[in-house]
Homo-oligomer: A and B are copies of this chain.
């Protein structure tokens, strides 16, 4: 994962509505949740929601699947893991440190 992709992912999450969408989907796990249900839960208009889905999808943070009339969205954990790895990699020039809760070094 390169810097550009990380910026795309961070930008996608750096917005209150999109962060709320993502958090909701993280909790839902692989089942995901239908777009309409998310709209209702977060009190966001369908058009606005769709706009934000696009941003999160483009970043690879969420995925969708159609089921009947409904479109289910779910979080893609792989991209999140790669992003976290990028942010914390090579901490403290590789020297032992306890700064990153066991993720560093």
Binding site for B on A (CB under 8 A): 3-4, 6-7, 10-11, 13-16, 19-20, 22-23, 26-30, 77, 80-81, 84, 87-93, 95, 97, 99-101, 104
Contacts and interface: CB of A to CB of B under 8 A. Distances in A.
B99 A29 contact: yes
Identical chains in the assembly:
2
Contacts of A29: 91-93, 95, 97, 99
Nearest to A26: B91
Given A7-B14, A29-B93, 9 more contacts: A13-B87, A14-B14, A28-B92, A28-B93, A29-B95, A77-B91, A81-B100, A81-B101, A84-B88
9 contacts: A4-B16, A26-B92, A28-B92, A29-B93, A29-B97, A29-B99, A30-B92, A77-B104, A81-B101
A99 B30 CA distance: 9
